[in-house]
């Protein structure tokens, strides 16, 4: 019933096509705020949005299936830069829009004051499990950003989810709503069926959705589809920045005392246990 209620509210919003959305609010350089929101609260939240809010609509669809494959070095440089809050961090992934089979190779750079810059290269969906066809592009971006990623970049984590995208014209900001979240790391998987990850993307100022969430007592949290998901599935990895998120929103993860307190010089090459779990907001 909740998903149907969300679809019903989205169906009442004014549509916007992808070219116009990109033209209005591409926001390749932006500030992101992320929230974990119980699905049951979303319909009421969405119904309070301003009348000029628009929803991405492609051929009558307003919810789209995504798959992201994340790549990392043998020593998990991308993960550890995030775990230890390095000032300059990076992520490398392919993103496939499963409904259209469009695919991009993306490099995301975290800079000063949590600013994010995303670099994209059109990619063949058949190559989405490998970074090799686009490795020169990745190296060029990282070199330009004075970031070093030594060694091969191999697939480390796969995420799938459904996404709806809103445009808030008043603040020229975007909001994404991700549901049916699932992570896969080798034979190990995890799902969050009862929550949505809501992300606001703006140049600086908070969006109306941010204020609505704050009014309901829902605050931004540290969550990363890559790093938090991998931390949940790999108890051998340090999880400091996301420990509160893991405890509150993920079930059956390793206790904090089981985590290494310092850098892991030799990440465990195989998963320490096999998990098939469903986690929900508690």
Range list of H helices, 159-226: 208-215
Torsion of CA 47, 220, 120, 59, to 10 degrees: -10
Q: Is the pLDDT of residue 104 over 50?
A: yes
The kind and range of the H/E element at 224 are none
DSSP 243-258: HHHHHHH--SPPPGGG
Listed range (20-29, 31-40, 49-58, 228-237) with the worst mean pLDDT: 20-29
Cα–Cα distance between 119 and 228 in angstroms, integer?
22
> Which domains occur in the chain, in start order?
2-265+272-278 (2.40.320.10)
Band the pLDDT of 27: cuts 50, 70, 90.
low
User: Dihedral (C-alpha) 203, 161, 280, 85: value to the nearest 10 degrees?
Assistant: -40
pLDDT digits (tens, 9 = 90+) for 157-196: 999 999 999 998 877 789 999 999 999 999 999 999 899 9
Is the pTM of the predicted complex or chain greater than 0.85? no
Q: Residue 256: what pLDDT?
A: 38
Q: Facing residues of 160 across strands?
A: 67, 182
> How does DSSP assign 62-105, residue by residue?
--EEEEEEEEE-TT-HHHHHHHTT-SSEEEEEEEEETTTTEEEE
The residue with tokens 């490998």 is 130
Least confident of 25-29, 40-44, 212-216: 25-29
Report the relative pairing of strands 102-110 and 188-192 from DSSP bridges.
unpaired
Question: How confident is the model over 52-96, as pLDDT tens digits?
Answer: 999 999 999 999 999 999 999 999 999 999 999 888 899 999 999
Please state, in angstroms and rounded to a whole number, the distance separating the CA atoms of residues 223 and 232: 11
Q: For residue 77, which of 260, 272, 261, 237 has the smallest C-alpha distance?
A: 237
Q: How does pLDDT run across 198-256, given as a tens digit for each residue?
A: 999 876 677 788 999 999 999 999 899 999 999 999 999 999 999 999 998 886 433 33
Q: What residues form DSSP beta bridges with 72?
A: 154
| Residue in 218, 195, 166, 179 with CA at minimum distance from that of residue 47 | 166
């Amino acid at each position: 019933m909740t998903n149907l209620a969300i679809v019903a509210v989205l169906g009442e919003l004014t549509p916007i096509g992808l070219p116009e959305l990109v033209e209005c609010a591409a926001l390749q350089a932006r500030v992101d705020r992320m929230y974990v929101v119980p699905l049951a609260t979303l319909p009421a939240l969405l119904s309070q949005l301003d009348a000029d809010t628009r929803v991405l609509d492609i051929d009558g669809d307003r919810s789209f299936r995504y798959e992201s494959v994340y790549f990392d070095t043998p020593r998990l440089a991308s993960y550890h830069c995030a775990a230890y809050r390095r000032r300059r961090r990076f992520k490398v992934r392919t993103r496939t829009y499963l409904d259209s089979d469009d695919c991009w190779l993306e490099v995301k750079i975290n800079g000063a004051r949590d600013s994010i810059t995303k670099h994209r290269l059109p990619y063949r969906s058949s190559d989405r499990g490998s970074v090799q066809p686009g490795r020169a592009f990745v190296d060029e971006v990282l070199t330009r950003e004075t970031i070093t990623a030594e060694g091969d970049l191999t697939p480390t984590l796969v995420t799938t989810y459904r996404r709806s995208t809103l445009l808030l014209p008043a603040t020229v900001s975007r909001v994404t709503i991700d549901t049916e979240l699932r992570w896969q790391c080798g034979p190990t998987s995890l799902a969050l069926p009862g929550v949505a990850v809501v992300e606001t993307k703006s140049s600086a100022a908070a969006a109306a959705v941010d204020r609505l969430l704050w009014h309901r007592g829902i605050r931004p949290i540290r969550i990363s589809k890559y790093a938090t998901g991998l931390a949940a599935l790999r108890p051998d990895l340090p999880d400091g920045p996301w420990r509160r998120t893991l405890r509150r929103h993920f079930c059956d993860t390793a206790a904090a005392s089981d985590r290494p307190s310092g850098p892991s010089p030799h990440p465990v090459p195989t998963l320490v246990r096999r998990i098939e779990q469903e986690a929900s907001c508690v």
